[in-house]
Structure 1
Amino acid sequence: MRVHPALATLLGALSYTTNAVAATNAEGAVASSAAVDESIVKGAYIVEFEGDDDTSAFYKDLSTDGIEVEHRMAMNYQLFKGTSFHLKGDVAEPDVAANKIAAKSRVKSIWPVRKISFPKPDVTHVGSNVTELLQRVAKAKRQEGDGNLFTPHVMTQVDKLHAEGYTGKGLRIGIVDTGVDYTHPALGGCFGEGCLVGYGYDFIGDDDSSPVPIPDSDPYDGCMGHGTHVAGIIAAQLNEHNFTGAAPGVTLGMYKATGCGGATTNEILLSGFYAAFEAGSDIISCSAGDDSGWASDPWAIAASRIAEAGVPVIVAPGNSGDLGIWYPSTPASGLHVTAAGSVENVVLPSMVKAATFSINNGTETQRFGVRFGSPSFQVNATLPLWAVGNDTNSETDACDALPDNTPDLSDKAVLLRMPTSGSECTTETQAKNLADKGARYVLWYSQTNINIPDVYINNELIEAVGGVPSEQGAEFISLLNEGNTVTVDINDWSSAGLFIHNLDNPIGGYTVRSSSWGPTQEIDVKPQVTTPGGDILSTYPLTLGGYAVLSGTSMATPLLASIFALVAEARGTKDPEVLRSLISSTAKPNVWFDGDTAFNDILAPVAQQGAGLAQAWEAAHATTILSESSISFNDSDHFVAERTFTIQNTATEDVTYILGHTKALTMYTFANNGANVLKSTYFPNPSAEGWAELSFASDEITVPAGGVSEVTVTLTPPQNLNATLLPIFSGYITLNSTKEESLVLPYLGVLGSLHDTPIVQAGYDGGVYLTDTNGHFNIPSLANVTFTLNRPDSNSSSSGVIYPKLIIRPTLGAPTLRADLVALTDTGLPTTEWHGYQTLGPLSGFPATLVPRNGALSYFYGSLDDGTVVPEGTYKFVTSGVRVFGDASKEEDWDVVETVPFILKYKS
């Protein structure tokens, strides 16, 4: 049985992880945790065989050892030979059976089956920093009718490749997601050979209540929507909202991994990846993940194997950016997997109702958007437009009674500007003054393009109100000032169509706060690059409205997969490492944005953005290929000061490169609170004034045409920083060529020792302590608190019981984590010695391995993991964890902490 070298001797190499819930948006978010056993399907396992074994023979072999199993899924693939099964009956100690199975020579690896939930992306509308990019966006917004000028495509140069005719034609992108509404006209309207969605499978089936998957061949989804949105980002055809997917020429495959509830398991997801590979996918995209951050997680191993076999795998690293560094999800954490971070869209697509207007009673109409307010339009209204004022800068439209020469407004649609926020004039005041002149239908236009008015009027004379964008209001005023007659046609709320208006985004172009940070627990760079993932318009199931604006790395990932397809088509290569290197080296690093302020004098950390924002056209046309897409200098224990990479010059002439270095923000893992406890921190982690120094054998190198040259870089770590707080330093090796190419090679490293960092610490600040289920604040319990519980083996079911709860938040991701119960009074039960304690056994769900940094909690109901009910008495919890890069067989590599004692009693 093979075990990852960094995790040797980890309790039989059983890869348990928690499914901890991460805060993603709240200000000052505190890491939340989930019960450690909630994600584990108890007694269910995935086994990989050493060879091409026969499942029936394997089950028969287990039976001879007294281990009876129920089959779950056949997992017989080119890159994985194995099965998943459930231990039959009520097995008291499934870990014992699992260890017996792991010891068999035909077993290569064994992992528990874990429950995983697909993400529910944020739907956010906030409002665009003035950059060079905005000049292109402004041009795009003016040139209606060209689907290539979709802003995420402009930001990533996808539009430039479209202009050259590249669409991903002939390539197949396999998606592992929630299914797809292939009946959507923008997604081809059909499924199967010759359709846009040409292949796929449903690994879970339509019956969410089934304890085991019931697969079928149809990956249709009409209830979740996530996969349909992802599919549209890749391959939507030109539609009524004037956009296409980034690679509209590809054929899509959809491997459905969840039903309407959003729940799935790692066995299904592994199967989806391997099936997509075997179906001939040229690229695999997955916008899902699970808290872990370890490259040795089984799902990450599967994704990395596929990439090693020649198929690029693009995965979302998660939306846990508020938890700070060290938090990429799996399988994005896979060694050869490309993780896609997210940046804010430079516009905010706002979905409002469609209306039309005509000029001077002409037959030609133009569309515009209206946000219906209250009261809404209950009937179709075709009315001439009348404006209260002719100045779009007015802040007092209808704030006073209208003049006597005002016409009867009962047969007009009245247009006016929103009042200044905070002024004495309100929309209610305006509405009354308009109603006094007969107005029934009123449209307000906004003062700026960062919102569309959402108007609520309590005036019984006003029959319908709505809001229009400032740009539209200005156009109407200009037309009216020129002496034109403008007639608006607004349908009732039930029949009015959908209109997309792009609002300005004040934080557009910056890295999204919720985008998860690296590095992995093995200090590999994650994410690799970023693409727009904030507020992205795409397709949605017809049953759910047809189109939606969603946010998350879920949206950044399919765009990056599309860029891989376009670059592969343009360059004629599908090599994952070559494509990743090209896309990484031509990316544009972003400045640091802390959620409130942009710091133009320092780049954002590599752990947040990788190489930066992908630039597809530059990647497709670059004549330079670097051998690495990133470099990790590890931590101080494993530090290698001198690293090499190669420059391949594919141009027809010699090229000279000027080598340089640009620093990025250094950030501490922990806060210095003056105590002897390492205090975990969250976004934004504390920054440090200290950076690495880089030097080269020569600052200039000439690479002959068609040649390859080696570059040696020497790094000196930052000085005068607190290594105990594990600062992560990073930056970019820059290469500027005589071919006018500007390339980057991101790097990072850690000052300090991960191995010497205690993995668990006692107390509220330390992260391991006793609390209870009363309330939501996890306040530490005092010593010798009495908990009176329902006895687990009785029929008692009293309500309002307060249970002991163990909180465990490791300082870093924990290779192995134990939580044991130790009796302080006589119980008559057998004990086992563990690091100086006589333990009764582990709590439910323990031991656990590959635990994420925000850890887990465990509720204690009076019984141990094997089902043993403990008697009344005094107890304490003992938590122990193996340090990162530690050896579980060495006592000194474990940290052990105990909680305060508590008294256990049972209700009679």
Structure 2
Amino acid sequence: MTVLASACLTALAATHTGAVQWVEPLEPASVPAAEGPVDETPQRWFVELSQTPTSEGGSAARLQSEKKAFRDAARSAGLRYIEHYAFDGLFNGFSVTVGRADLSALMRLPGVRAVYPVETIQRPEPGQSGPEMATALAMTGADIAQSQLGLDGSGIRVAVMDTGIDIDHPDFGGSGTDDTTAFPSARIVAGYDFVGDAFNADSSSPLYNPIPSPDANPDDCGGHGTHVAGIIGANGTVKGVAPNVQLGAYRVFGCNGSTTADVMVAAMERALADGMHVLNMSIGSTYQWPEYPTAKAASRLVNRRMVVVASAGNSGQTGVYSTGAPSVGDKVISVASFDNTHVRQPLFTVSPDGTEVGFNAATGAPTPPTSGTQPLARTGTASSTADACAALPTGSLTGRVALIRRGGCTFNLKAVNAQNAGAVGVVIYNNAPGAVNATVVGDTPVTVPTVGISDTAGLMLDARIANGGASLTWTPKVGSFPNPAGGLLSSFTAYGMSPDLALKPDIGAPGGSIYSTYPLESGGYATLSGTSMAAPHVAGAAALLLQAAPNTPSQAVGRILQNSAEPKAWSLNPGTGLLDVVHRQGAGMMQIDRAIVSAVRVEPGKLSLGESETGPAARTLTVENTGDTPVTYTFSATGAVSTAGSTFTPSFFLPATGVAFEASSVTVAPGATATVNVTITPPAAPLGGQYGGYLVLKPNDGSATLRVPYAGYIGDYQARQVMTPTANGFPWLAKSTDGSYFNQPDGATYTLSGGDIPYFLVHLDHQSRMLRMDVVEAASGRVWRRASQVEYLGRNSSPTGFFAYSWDGQVKVGKRTETAPDGRYRMRLSVLKALGDPTNEAHWERWESPVITIAR
């Protein structure tokens, strides 16, 4: 399809009807192709057993009996595995490590209901710039909730599942001196360290140590949890959203690196036992289903009267359907990230008038100086598309600081070309709204200070250089600067929807470069960015809401927050006036003050319309008035930018969506409810896209406008291709040698000993409901036996990623395991598409391998 040039955007912004309209962002999100295939196969797995967990009424005795039966069966089958955790409360089963050659044997064990990968979760690192926390509070109305409504979270217990909390930090009532405050304390009232300082689940790290050493004190040496807790409830130099909550610290990270999803489930069970009212999880596993164990466990917590808030994830640059678990849980509040209105940055000044310019120091370059003046020189113009991407004349920048526009090549190449031309510093400015956070790490080291600045600051410097020249003076100062991207979605925030086409994320909050508390030994305060920083704004807001209305059901909190949220402009081209993608911002920016004071609620809080092959979607809104006076609401609808194209590089368009209400308005009497039916006619094209918008309820009494976001899928969801070949031609029949896989020809021979077993490499472009492996007799073409089956698979993270599944020569017959005799076979891989009907052949994709010769 043709993408219209941005010159057409003014006309497009004026209409939301008619034919499909394609729009073009200033800088489309994309992921560079990896150099080769990337193995994403896990070795650690959740094993779900059949009985109901105790949180849903299951018998503890029956669960223990079932676990014993699993262990006995594994021993009888000779399965080699390491058991990490056994779960009863929120999930029934285990987490285990097995070799890839033993995975199919694990799946065949009697009593195994399903297996899921135990994902490794990375922790964000400190940034170098940050907004004022006060402006972040103002963006969500938390400042008004505190100052005018008198709310501070008193009486509410908020659990923080993270790296722990610095118990000594004075902003949490600590002594201000390391290791001198007793735990638990008046502010940090509960918690546990599940892993210990040295734990690190990142197998690529030189500090890799997957063995936990738990203890009773969840003190923080990593920093992330202290930062998150500060956003929720600090009360000192930093003032959080709910500065008088009681905190629980559930430490699932060591001092460095990553954690695993099974540790998260263990921490959830502990938070439930400790009686927490709200749980914040600023961590997650991307590309997962609501059935993923952390998501299911989180939804079960909500059923047990705990509000659960989770970050949507930072995988926006990996495309659509990238929201993570547990936030995809059907009862979990999934939070997107918006950038703040102001940014706190180091600064330099510019002649002739000393104008201050805030900057972000580039990763991989020397620390910028705090004094010294050098002339500025530009290497291109304000319209350059590949500025400094080619070698610059030798000596052309000697003694000067180079001003370079972003785009066309890597930051490393730009900086290297400038320093080779004699530059003593590099300033890179953005080619889109917002400041540049650059990394110049590369094969050639950058040896001169390199910083990133905003597009507006760069254009100002470019004009000064062109009109007589300018000089730059480095300073030790830090200033607060308006953020050009303030109030817009952060570039990293993930896209939904969830694989079952539920509208995710649910809501948004500030998360881009947030200044908050940090462990005392690391400076006491620091800046982090991510949906990790957005979620605690919502967790703190949930505490304020529960303080104001203590009897609010846990399942209603998300809906109440969504009703009053405010959707924001399209971050990739805000000048169009279009609203950003619904399945990326949810209901929009949270407005907690409006949520608390509003006497009217709308249910449901969002509409997940599903696939559109059956035509229009009819829904009913229920409007409840808990106030003392009648309110009349007038109905309307607003469309939003939607997505289509490939999973990894979405395109953007305006959908031709029709919205019809059965009445133009409704009057709701005090203490009464009213209903209104609405019919949403989905667009006819582009097939495979995700569309969305907002139903708008405008009151006649001057109170806040209410909105209900909606989203759906265009066409037949099961027509979406899952197993795609990629440039490597997957699926493969393969052999594994020294950790590498080799594509095998027809008739390849396997001995099934010493690791010589067949592997099947498959790229999944989309999440799938099920993957089956059936053994086919090569001569007859008849399906002989089932080898294994996996349910609720996530997608690959990149266009070149793959998963490797093995066959050990065993098959399952009822509850028994049989050994395939020597001979010639094929393996049939069958993928049931998301929401597919297993009885409908059109909902399956199938692939048969080359002939496999078993010769023991």
* Matching residue of 2:587: 611
Distance 1:89 1:45, change over 3 A: farther
1:748-827 equivalences under 5 Å are: 748-762=711-725, 764=727, 768=731, 784=745, 793=753, 807-818=761-772
1:867-886 equivalences under 5 Å are: 878-886=828-836
Cα displacement string for residues 25-54 of structure 1 (whole angstroms, at most 9, x for unaligned residues): 864467998646424349897975573232
* Matching residue of 1:181: 166
Q: Are 1:53 and 2:60 matched, yes or no?
A: yes
Q: Are 1:747 and 2:710 matched, yes or no?
A: yes
Q: Distance in 2 between matches of 1:818 and 1:167?
A: 52
Preserved contact between residue 100 and residue 806 of structure 2 (Cα < 8 Å): no
Q: Distance in 1 between matches of 2:748 and 2:375?
A: 59
Q: Secondary structure at the match of 1:281?
A: coil
Stretches of structure 1 that go unaligned for 5 or more consecutive residues are 1-23, 103-109, 128-140, 142-146, 353-368, 371-386, 396-412, 431-441, 455-464, 471-489, 491-495, 672-679, 797-802, 826-832
Which of 131, 142, 166 is the aligned partner of 1:158? 142
* Matching residue of 2:183: 192
Q: Distance in 2 between matches of 1:681 and 1:31?
A: 19
* Matching residue of 2:12: none
Q: Are 1:119 and 2:122 matched, yes or no?
A: yes
Preserved contact between residue 51 and residue 81 of structure 1 (Cα < 8 Å): no
Distance 1:804 1:616, change over 3 A: same
The farther-off stretch of 731-740 and 628-637 is 628-637
Distance 1:839 1:323, change over 3 A: farther
Distance 1:294 1:197, change over 3 A: same
Distance 1:152 1:806, change over 3 A: farther
Distance 1:767 1:626, change over 3 A: farther
* Matching residue of 1:136: none
* Matching residue of 1:484: none
Distance 1:67 1:342, change over 3 A: same
Deviation at 1:648, TM superposition (A): 1.3
Residue 709 of structure 2 aligns with an amino acid whose one-letter code is P
Q: Secondary structure at the match of 1:330?
A: coil
Deviation at 1:422, TM superposition (A): 4.2
Q: Distance in 2 between matches of 1:388 and 1:121?
A: 33
Which of 107, 110, 114 is the aligned partner of 1:100? 110
Q: Secondary structure at the match of 2:769?
A: strand
* Matching residue of 2:309: 314
Residue 44 of structure 2 aligns with an amino acid whose one-letter code is I
Cα displacement string for residues 724-780 of structure 1 (whole angstroms, at most 9, x for unaligned residues): x322221100011012221111011222122344433556498645789999999x9
Q: Distance in 2 between matches of 1:267 and 1:558?
A: 22
1:98-247 equivalences under 5 Å are: 99-102=109-112, 110-112=113-115, 114-121=117-124, 150-164=134-148, 165-189=150-174, 190=181, 192-206=183-197, 208=199, 213-222=212-221, 224-239=222-237, 243-247=238-242
Deviation at 1:587, TM superposition (A): 1.1
Q: Distance in 2 between matches of 1:306 and 1:233?
A: 23
* Matching residue of 1:636: 612
- Relative to the length of structure 2, the TM-score reads 0.72
Which of 572, 576, 588 is the aligned partner of 2:554? 576
Distance 1:263 1:872, change over 3 A: farther
Distance 1:66 1:81, change over 3 A: closer
Distance 1:813 1:324, change over 3 A: same
Deviation at 1:151, TM superposition (A): 2.0
Q: Distance in 2 between matches of 1:417 and 1:554?
A: 39
Q: Are 1:294 and 2:277 matched, yes or no?
A: no
Deviation at 1:569, TM superposition (A): 2.3
Preserved contact between residue 279 and residue 306 of structure 2 (Cα < 8 Å): yes
Preserved contact between residue 101 and residue 755 of structure 2 (Cα < 8 Å): no
Q: Distance in 1 between matches of 2:525 and 2:656?
A: 46
Distance 1:173 1:838, change over 3 A: same
* Matching residue of 2:792: 850
Distance 1:183 1:551, change over 3 A: same
Distance 1:388 1:896, change over 3 A: closer
Deviation at 1:709, TM superposition (A): 1.0
Deviation at 1:429, TM superposition (A): 6.2
Q: Distance in 2 between matches of 1:713 and 1:290?
A: 35
Question: What is the CA RMSD across the aligned residues, in angstroms?
Answer: 5.1
Preserved contact between residue 502 and residue 608 of structure 2 (Cα < 8 Å): yes
Q: Are 1:527 and 2:505 matched, yes or no?
A: yes
Q: Secondary structure at the match of 1:419?
A: strand
* Matching residue of 1:435: none
1:716-731 equivalences under 5 Å are: 716-719=681-684, 721-722=685-686, 725-731=687-693
Preserved contact between residue 233 and residue 240 of structure 2 (Cα < 8 Å): yes
Distance 1:32 1:653, change over 3 A: farther
Q: Secondary structure at the match of 1:611?
A: coil
Distance 1:651 1:896, change over 3 A: same
Q: Secondary structure at the match of 2:399?
A: helix
Q: Are 1:693 and 2:658 matched, yes or no?
A: yes
Q: Distance in 2 between matches of 1:699 and 1:516?
A: 35
Q: How many residues end up aligned between the 2 structures?
A: 724
Distance 1:232 1:426, change over 3 A: farther
Q: Secondary structure at the match of 1:686?
A: strand
Preserved contact between residue 732 and residue 745 of structure 1 (Cα < 8 Å): yes
* Matching residue of 2:647: 681
Preserved contact between residue 752 and residue 809 of structure 2 (Cα < 8 Å): no
Deviation at 1:893, TM superposition (A): 4.0
Preserved contact between residue 176 and residue 287 of structure 1 (Cα < 8 Å): yes
Q: Distance in 2 between matches of 1:255 and 1:276?
A: 8
Q: Distance in 2 between matches of 1:279 and 1:502?
A: 41
Q: Secondary structure at the match of 2:536?
A: helix
Q: Distance in 1 between matches of 2:673 and 2:525?
A: 48
Q: Distance in 1 between matches of 2:601 and 2:29?
A: 38
The percentage of aligned residue pairs carrying the same residue is 25
Deviation at 1:702, TM superposition (A): 1.0
The farther-off stretch of 118-127 and 645-654 is 118-127
Which of 31, 38, 50 is the aligned partner of 2:42? 38
Deviation at 1:73, TM superposition (A): 4.2
Distance 1:322 1:452, change over 3 A: closer
Q: Distance in 1 between matches of 2:276 and 2:426?
A: 50
Q: Secondary structure at the match of 1:604?
A: coil
* Matching residue of 2:399: 428
Residue 796 of structure 2 aligns with an amino acid whose one-letter code is N
Q: Distance in 2 between matches of 1:727 and 1:446?
A: 35
Q: Secondary structure at the match of 2:110?
A: helix
Q: Secondary structure at the match of 1:712?
A: strand
Preserved contact between residue 805 and residue 858 of structure 1 (Cα < 8 Å): no
Cα displacement string for residues 153-193 of structure 1 (whole angstroms, at most 9, x for unaligned residues): 12212222222232212211011222222222333323534
* Matching residue of 1:84: 94
Deviation at 1:58, TM superposition (A): 4.5
Residue 197 of structure 1 aligns with an amino acid whose one-letter code is I
* Matching residue of 1:648: 624
Distance 1:52 1:552, change over 3 A: same
